[in-house]
């Protein structure tokens, strides 16, 4: 890792703070919005000119609460689509490898076990905003899109869907995987080996979680689990080397 100069946007995000505990060094720079504002192209230029990275991990985004993407589409568009496009353009100008954190919710969420080349059809505005960011990243060939089924440990919500499935992976496991895939390009699904109901998953780390039905929630997918064969094959090759 010492030969990689890495700038990370969204350094103060929940994942950014957790990542910094085990992914650090003089060559890894976590930036706040004050240091690098993704909606200000001059700010992006100043930061990249200062640190001269050859990798950029783009974490800065608007995620929760998901209802925010329904209530304030301007903020959703600005942050997740326009902000990401600004980052892509600057990485392209300077030939910086870009790693973009997306979501498994970009898939239709009907049958599950989605492969990277399966058709996409988000069911809510949050996922549409992340797919909008993906669109600009995909134009830039020196990039990697990670479609993550990622969640916190322990499960943070008081309720969980008994009739919706996913193959969630904890942040700590993503952090362990990330350094091994930085040089990959294209799209990689990241999730766990097990697809199960969100309620079943949640109970393992939060025994008092309450079961609810996705029918009581607007625009939540039935099965967003992703196929991780591509990821497993990449990691197996790394182990052999």
User: What CATH number did the domain enclosing 102 receive?
Assistant: 3.40.50.720
Region 220-228: what's the mean pLDDT? 97
Q: Report residue 6: phi and psi, to 5°.
A: -120, 130
User: What is the domain range of residue 209?
Assistant: 6-240
For residue 133, what pLDDT is reported? 98
How far is residue 5 CA from its own chain's centroid?
A: 21
Percentage of residues in the chain having pLDDT higher than 70:
99
Query: Would the pLDDT of 219 be above 90?
Result: no
Strands 97-103 and 150-151: unpaired
How large is the greatest C-alpha to C-alpha distance in the chain, in angstroms? 51
pLDDT at 241 exceeding the cut of 80: no
- How far, in Å, are 167, 169, 183, 191 from residue 196 at the CA level? 6, 12, 31, 12
Is residue 25, in this structure, part of any structural domain at all? Answer: yes
Is 83 inside a domain boundary? Answer: yes
Residues 6+ apart with CB under 8 A from 136: 81, 84, 85, 88
Q: Is the predicted pLDDT of residue 67 greater than 90, yes or no?
A: no
**Strand stretches in 28-164, DSSP E:** 28-30, 55-58, 97-103, 143-148, 150-151, 159-161
Q: Which of 65, 59, 105 is nearest to 80 (CA)?
A: 59
User: Tens digit of pLDDT for each residue in 145-181?
Assistant: 999 999 999 999 999 999 999 999 999 999 999 999 9
- Looking at per-residue pLDDT, the higher value among 182 and 3 belongs to 182
* Structure tokens that stand for 63 in this block: 């995620």
CA distances from 3 to 25, 26, 181, 233, 241 (A): 11, 11, 15, 24, 18
The pLDDT tens digits of the residues spanning 27-45 come to 999 999 999 999 999 999 9
> How far is the C-alpha of 207 from the C-alpha of 205, rounded, in Å?
6
In this structure, the chain runs to a length of 241
Average pLDDT, the chain: 96
- SS3 letters for 197-217? EHHHHHHHHCCCCEEECHHHC
Q: Return d(Cα 44, Cα 36) in angstroms, integer.
A: 5
How many domains does one find in the chain? 1
Specify the pTM: 0.96
**Residue 1 resides in a domain:** no
For residue 95, being part of any structural domain is answered with yes
pLDDT value at residue 1: 62
Task: Decide if 211 is inside a domain.
Answer: yes
**Residue range 109-155, pLDDT digits in tens:** 999 999 999 999 999 999 999 999 999 999 999 999 999 999 999 99
DSSP helix, strand, coil percent of the chain (3-state; round to 5): 40, 20, 40
Name the residue with higher pLDDT: 241 or 40: 40
- 76: its two tokens: 């959703």
Cα distances from 180 to residues 130, 141, 231, 234, in angstroms, run 23, 19, 10, 9
What's the burial of 118, exposed, middle or buried (CB within 10 Å: 0-12/13-18/19+)? middle
Instruction: Examine residue 117 and state whether it is found in any structural domain, yes or no.
Output: yes
Using the predicted structure, report yes or no on whether residue 17 has a pLDDT greater than 90: yes
């Amino acid at each position: 890792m010492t030969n990689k100069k890495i700038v990370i946007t969204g350094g103060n995000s929940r994942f950014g703070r957790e990542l910094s505990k085990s992914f650090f060094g003089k060559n890894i720079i976590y930036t706040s919005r004050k240091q690098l504002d993704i909606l200000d192209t001059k700010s992006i230029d100043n930061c990249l000119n200062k640190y001269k990275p050859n990798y950029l991990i783009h974490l800065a985004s608007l995620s929760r609460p998901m209802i925010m993407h329904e209530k304030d589409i301007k903020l959703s568009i600005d942050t997740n689509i326009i902000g990401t496009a600004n980052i892509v353009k600057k990485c392209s100008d300077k030939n910086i490898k870009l790693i973009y954190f997306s979501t498994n919710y970009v898939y239709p969420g009907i049958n599950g076990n989605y492969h990277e080349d399966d058709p996409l059809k988000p069911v809510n505005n949050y996922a549409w905003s992340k797919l909008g960011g993906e669109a600009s990243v995909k134009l830039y060939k020196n990039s990697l899109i990670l479609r993550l089924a990622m969640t916190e440990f322990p499960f943070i919500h008081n309720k969980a869907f008994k009739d919706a499935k996913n193959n969630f992976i904890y942040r700590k496991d993503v952090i362990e995987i990330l350094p091994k895939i930085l040089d990959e390009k294209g799209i990689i699904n990241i999730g766990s080996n097990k697809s199960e109901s969100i309620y079943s998953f949640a109970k393992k780390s939060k025994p008092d979680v309450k079961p609810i039905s996705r029918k009581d929630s607007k625009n939540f997918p039935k099965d967003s689990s992703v196929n991780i064969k591509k990821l497993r094959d990449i990691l197996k090759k790394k182990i052999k080397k």
